[in-house]
Structure 1
Amino acid sequence: MSNGRTVLFVNTRPSPAEAEPCYEAARSLGLDVVLLADNPVTVQEGYLAEWVRVDTFDLPALVAAARRVADVRDVVGVVCWGDRDVEGVAAVAEALGLPGNTPLAARAARNKALTRAALADSCPDLTPAFARVSTAEELEQALVRVPLPAVLKPVSASASKGIFSVSTYEEARDAFEELRRYTDPANDPIFRYNPGQLLLEQRIEGTEHSVDGIVRDGRLVAAAVTDKFVREPFFIEYLQTHPTSLPQEVQERVLDAAARTVGALGLGTTAIHLELKVTPDGLPVVLELNSRTGGGYITTHLIPLSRGYSFLQQVLIAVCGLGPNTPMPYAHLVAGSWQVLCDREGKLGAVEGVAAALAVPGVLHFAQDAPIGSAVAQPPASFTSAVLGSLISRGPSHESVTTALEAAQALVRSEVG
């Protein structure tokens, strides 16, 4: 039941299976949800108190909309669930005097080149060689300073959009031309932030992981590590398992790296999703920090299934100032999510084999991300539409979970015309 307090959501996760747990977490705390969003969303009756249409890329308009809500409601917090709204949430928090990041810290977290610069100043061991690139001339200069192989990517994208691995000067130049076209805001509004701005950084070898944590007043108060697996050459994630299988001493280094990165960026009160690699020597190197909850069903499903811990609820407790956060409990089980990818281009006609996949022992859910009738494509034409959906599993070990997911994903088939 509502207690009259309101939390502002700036947009939602794109998948209903990830969006609804956010509303449920708010409801469990007695919070009304007012959604500030560009477009209406479909949500179960009772989860949403009000929807306010606003261009959330227009920060003055977003702040004005939030002020109008605060004039008639007891607004105690503001939160976003995707990268594109990190700066907007900071602007609203500052305007309404709510817990959050400063706009300067939000900009540093949102812009990968600024993140790299902050780490180079205070934590040089956590960042590879890098250079910001916006012109062909700057690319040529960067290729002198940044060793190959390297990665070329937009400074302000999300969901692994536009990540190219380059091993030669020619590959770097070709990727630059492709990304210059791809990062046109007309193709994707997320590039209204820093259009045409790219980052060239030295490629780091090692295993890939993420840290999902809660920051309060600049201090990391709860955090956990997840193992991640990607498909090259475009680094598309297809598997996440939680908790990590890293040795305890390496986990401690990873969590220390997360805390140091939070400090380097000057974050205030926020969720974080930090992506990093661990080198063969067991040393963490930061890839990027996202000042919001993690996707890939990590925070909505895997952490609760593994630890019995409502990560989303704890995020809302922090950003709404509702009291102290509960420490992260021990992981008693392993949980995993596997993104089922389509390998063709066209219009999605059907997704088959889901019932057989759900009959695999340990497999709990299939969340379909691509609607029937939607266009599906492959990188570099599209970095997200090829994901048909995600299978979620839980079991006593990493091996049991990954074995179940691998067997289940082989049963799911797509019809593309």
Structure 2
Amino acid sequence: MARVLLVHARAGAPPEYTIPKVAAVADTCVLAVTPLSATARSVADTCCETVVDISDSRPHADQLVEHIVAAAHRVGADAVLTFSEFAVIAVAEACQRLGLPGPGPNVRRARDKRAMREVWQRAGVPVPTWLPADSIEELRSAWHRLTPPVLLKSAWSAAAVGQVIIRSEDELPAAWESSGAALAGGNESWFSELRLSAAGQQPAPGFLVDEIIPSSIRSWYDDDRYGDHISVEGVVVEGRYHPVCITSKAPTTAPFTERANFTPCVLAPALQRRIEEIARRAVDALELGTCATHTEMKLLDGERVCLLESAARFGGVLLTREVEHVHGIDMIGAYTRAALGEDPGLPDTMLVQPTAHAAGSVALYAADSRGRPWSTLPPFVPDRIDWASLLSPGTKAEVFDGLSLPSGSPMPVYDAANGYLNSAGLVFLTAPDPATLLADAHAIMDGLEHALIRAGQ
């Protein structure tokens, strides 16, 4: 049987879900660059040949690549994989040194948002109007050259961490400080790029300043409970892009923190094909090798779109599990087979037909579905909630422990600059149909505060 070295780092699809999927395809050895939770470690110990944790040394930069190459040689790996955005560059470089299929030499285009935008501008793919900023002085210059309000964000971050909307010039210093503080906090909790910095240090700032995209669902959805952005989940195999399906979203919470994802997409097939064509142009322009992809875009009037970013890894939370539940495609297994040089069994064109059932992921924040902060902060006790009282008949809710705080933890205050780091937990939903899924996801977002209050009484 083939052997895979799976490099674990924080972010991306959770190890409790991905490890068994990889192990079902090949003998699996785990190299943990950031700590595995107790649950994930138990799963890995059950499924894998070896589990080596090197997180105590906090390997970064060249040291991390050396660790990966040495581990691959030690276990005789036929493929090296990661599901973390923060480890994908290091894994790509290790694959090149080992002569194994991987994301390839252009992988930084799928991490550095500034390089990504430059590639897409040359390819004629629609992107926001933007400027780089590496200092408060450059931020001020960008402010005067762009049309405010503007969005400040790091070229290397993920999940909306460090994003700040700036509406007036006097907000510039505070915005710069707030974004930097959020990124520093992410670095402390392993939520930062691992390849480009020494241990305990953040990579060079590499900020972007974007004009706010004039997004709208008017020519796409007739229900404002759907958000104005989508993502296309896919896999690139030896440079050939396989878009699998579109994931719909709930409206974001300020500034642009994702709240919930929905599979399947309910847009008309012709509209989905329009999105597929733009996603294909965007991913092809990045010139990647063999890797997962997660391509995000905003919806605009006139059935137009604007690209946000495309990562060389799967979407986070439980997007891959949603796809498997609804469409029957195990994207983790398919990517593993592709990395081993086997047929991944993926469709050549995107799946756009309606399905009879639905699945989604709902992140749990101290804000309702419209982004209004809670008036109280009851303890986070998801195991005491009567979830059925929030849901329709036939809908099932599962609190995913691997992406949730321990029961009894303080509920985090929602801080806009912290993005996904505000999340207390994640609920995986399955429903009989997309309409029920949409309604029940919003019921959770709007009913969670009072459900926690009742649970704590």
Superposition TM-score, scaled by structure 1 size: 0.88
**One of 337, 344, 364 as aligned partner of 2:361:** 337
Aligned partner of residue 302 in structure 2, secondary structure: coil
Paired with 1:261 and 1:382, the residues of 2 have a C-alpha distance of 28
Contact 1:78 1:320 in 2 (8 A): no
Paired with 2:42 and 2:251, the residues of 1 have a C-alpha distance of 31
Q: Which runs of 5+ in 1 are unaligned?
A: none
Contact 1:339 1:388 in 2 (8 A): yes
Letter in 2 for 1:117: E
Q: Which runs of 5+ in 2 are unaligned?
A: 217-227, 368-373
Paired with 2:249 and 2:391, the residues of 1 have a C-alpha distance of 25
Contact 2:293 2:313 in 1 (8 A): yes
Query: Corresponding residue for 2:452?
Result: 413
Query: Corresponding residue for 2:219?
Result: none
Contact 1:183 1:196 in 2 (8 A): no
Query: Corresponding residue for 1:353?
Result: 385
> Does 2:285 correspond to 1:264?
yes
Paired with 2:131 and 2:189, the residues of 1 have a C-alpha distance of 24
**One of 59, 83, 95 as aligned partner of 1:93:** 95
Q: Which one has the bigger strand percentage?
A: 1
Q: CA deviation at 1:298?
A: 0.9
Paired with 2:245 and 2:58, the residues of 1 have a C-alpha distance of 30
Paired with 1:13 and 1:181, the residues of 2 have a C-alpha distance of 19
Paired with 1:57 and 1:31, the residues of 2 have a C-alpha distance of 25
Query: Corresponding residue for 2:20?
Result: 24
> Does 2:11 correspond to 1:11?
no
Q: Which moved more, 1:233-242 or 1:62-71?
A: 62-71
Q: CA deviation at 1:74?
A: 3.1
Aligned partner of residue 176 in structure 1, secondary structure: helix
Q: Which moved more, 1:31-40 or 1:267-276?
A: 31-40
Query: Corresponding residue for 1:73?
Result: 75
Q: CA deviation at 1:324?
A: 4.0
Taking only the aligned residue pairs, the percentage that are identical comes to 23
User: Structure 2 vs 1, CA of residues 49 and 267 (structure 1 numbering), >3 Å: closer, same or farther?
Assistant: same
Contact 1:131 1:199 in 2 (8 A): yes
Paired with 2:413 and 2:180, the residues of 1 have a C-alpha distance of 19
Contact 2:160 2:417 in 1 (8 A): no
Deviations for 1:152-179, whole angstroms, at most 9, x for unmatched residues? 1111011221122233333444312322
Letter in 2 for 1:336: G
1:250-399 pair list within 5 angstroms: 250-299=271-320, 301-327=321-347, 332=355, 333-342=357-366, 348=379, 350-351=381-382, 352-356=384-388, 360-361=392-393, 362-368=395-401, 369-372=404-407, 374=409, 376-380=412-416, 382-399=418-435
User: Structure 2 vs 1, CA of residues 353 and 128 (structure 1 numbering), >3 Å: closer, same or farther?
Assistant: same
User: Structure 2 vs 1, CA of residues 177 and 62 (structure 1 numbering), >3 Å: closer, same or farther?
Assistant: closer
User: Structure 2 vs 1, CA of residues 326 and 268 (structure 1 numbering), >3 Å: closer, same or farther?
Assistant: same
**One of 199, 202, 207 as aligned partner of 2:208:** 199
Q: Which moved more, 1:183-192 or 1:246-255?
A: 183-192
Paired with 1:56 and 1:221, the residues of 2 have a C-alpha distance of 35
Paired with 2:344 and 2:400, the residues of 1 have a C-alpha distance of 33
Q: CA deviation at 1:51?
A: 2.3
Paired with 2:244 and 2:172, the residues of 1 have a C-alpha distance of 36
Q: CA deviation at 1:396?
A: 4.0
**Which gives a bigger RCO, structure 1 or 2 (Cα 8 Å, sep 6+)?**
2
Aligned partner of residue 79 in structure 1, secondary structure: strand
Q: CA deviation at 1:90?
A: 0.7
Deviations for 1:123-165, whole angstroms, at most 9, x for unmatched residues? 2x42111111111221122123322232111110112211222
Deviations for 1:183-224, whole angstroms, at most 9, x for unmatched residues? 348655516453322111121113110011000122212421
Aligned partner of residue 293 in structure 1, secondary structure: coil
Query: Corresponding residue for 2:222?
Result: none
RMSD across aligned positions (CA):
2.8
Q: Which moved more, 1:146-155 or 1:185-194?
A: 185-194
Superposition TM-score, scaled by structure 2 size: 0.81
Count matched residues. 409
